[in-house]
Structure 1
Amino acid sequence: MATQAPAAGIYTTGSLTPLQLIDRSRQGLSGVETSRVAGLLSVTDKEMARLLNQSVATFHRQVKLQQLDAATSERLLLLARLATYGTTVFQDKGKFTRWLRRPLRLLNDRPPLDLLDSSTGVQLVEDILGRIEYGVFS
């Protein structure tokens, strides 16, 4: 039996199960969600385009679309989930977004933001946030 994703917007991604996230990404998000996620992460259009592995021109075209493709939708949902989690861990959006830009020794002196253009990078950053949340970050 297929699980239906909630009709609510991207801001509910933290409560989506993995299957719901897959279903929601297959349905396709609205193009305006690209700008919303950019706002959650406090990134420029150029940075957001890089996170989506797109040119800036393609990013701007995506914003105008009624429905994004599944791959872009999934990436946006993962980034929104990360932004929500990071803001919760740091208890402040500004602290989280500044942390994203700070080079970390754990990442060979790369900032976490530089890794968010791949699903592996998103998972790595989520793992580090988990360590911070539970006080085991070294």
Structure 2
Amino acid sequence: MYSSGSLTPLQLIDRSRQGLSGTETGRVAELLGVTDKEMARLLNQSVATFHRQVKILQLDAATSERLLLLTRLATYGSTVFQDKGKFTRWLRRPLRLLSDRSPLDLLDSSTGVQLVEDILGRIEYGVFS
């Protein structure tokens, strides 16, 4: 197991290139409180492909990077909200700031992950509007 929250950007790249175990997909889904279907969408995969990936010993770099970024986001969100449940409920809540889309709707792209991390930073420092 790893903690992507403590990885530097270069370490994250190196770890992505090494490839994570397929079992990490289920662990990250649990951290985010999402279903297999939702997790497959976040990884830009079909549900069938997602289920096959769980059995793979070493995931490709792109999937590994996405899992590391999502782990970092989940860790940060749970810290900001001081509760995993509050964070996972917030992920599903439509936000005016996101044109009434939920943060979860944006996590299928690295730009969306960054945007959600930025919003969490605003919440953490009390400047969320």
TM > 0.5: yes
Taking the aligned partners of 1:129 and 1:98, their CA distance within structure 2 comes to: 14
Q: List aligned pairs for 1:28-43, cutoff 5 A.
A: 28-43=19-34
**How many Å apart are 1:63 and its aligned residue?**
0.1
- Matching residue of 1:128: 119
Residue from 47, 55, 66 that aligns with 2:46: 55
Q: Which runs of 5+ in 1 are unaligned?
A: 1-8
**How many Å apart are 1:71 and its aligned residue?**
0.2
**How many Å apart are 1:60 and its aligned residue?**
0.2
Q: List aligned pairs for 1:12-23, cutoff 5 A.
A: 12-23=3-14
Residue from 99, 108, 111 that aligns with 2:102: 111
CA deviations 1:89-134 (Å, max 9, x no partner) are 0000000000000000000000000000000000000000000000
Q: Counterpart of 1:115 in structure 2: which amino acid? A: L
Q: Counterpart of 1:107 in structure 2: which amino acid? A: L
Q: Counterpart of 1:114 in structure 2: which amino acid? A: D
- Matching residue of 1:66: 57
TM-score (norm 1): 0.93
- Aligned residue-pair number: 129
Q: Counterpart of 1:44 in structure 2: which amino acid? A: T
Taking the aligned partners of 1:29 and 1:23, their CA distance within structure 2 comes to: 11
Taking the aligned partners of 1:124 and 1:36, their CA distance within structure 2 comes to: 23
Q: CA RMSD in A?
A: 0.4
Structure 1 residue 90 corresponds to structure 2 residue 81: yes
> Which runs of structure 1 show a deviation greater than 2 angstroms over 4 or more consecutive aligned residues?
none
Taking the aligned partners of 1:121 and 1:42, their CA distance within structure 2 comes to: 18
Residue from 58, 66, 75 that aligns with 1:75: 66
Q: Which runs of 5+ in 2 are unaligned?
A: none
